[in-house]
Amino acid sequence: MLIPYGGVISIGDDFSLNPYSVLYGHGGLSIGNSVRVAAGCVIIPANHVFSDPGTAIRAQGLTKLGIVIEDDVWVGANVTILDGAHISRGCVIAAGSVVRGQTEPLGIYAGVPAKLIRKRGRIETREVAQ
């Protein structure tokens, strides 16, 4: 999909996007297969440059590092994914989190900024006394 302000959004198969989410393509947005994006998410592969206090922010340009979301990812409600983020295969991103940088495969991330809480996988069960 070509974006009128520049950039490209690439979306794999079996993708779902819920209401009130925003996706931009400025620096390139790549979304894999079987990705779920809940309501109210903001995924923008660009960011304002603001390093020179003597120049208006609007005149300093943008970074355009891009965003990659690999296969089988669930992005919870109201998550923000920042320029340069790379969400690895099988991750779960908790509602309200802010993601930047690289995640580990099968990681469960939460917080601002999002941090690894634990890995997906075998769930230990306890026997219930009768």
The one-letter amino acid at 15: F
Encoding tokens for residue 64?
A: 């355009």
* Active-site position among 1, 10, 39, 48: 48
Cβ atoms within 10 Å of 124's Cβ, excluding its own:
4
* DSSP-assigned beta bridge partners for residue 118: 108
Q: 89: which residues sit within 8 A by CB, 6+ positions away?
A: 32, 70, 71, 72, 73, 105, 106
Q: Is 48 a catalytic residue?
A: yes
Catalytic positions, please? 48
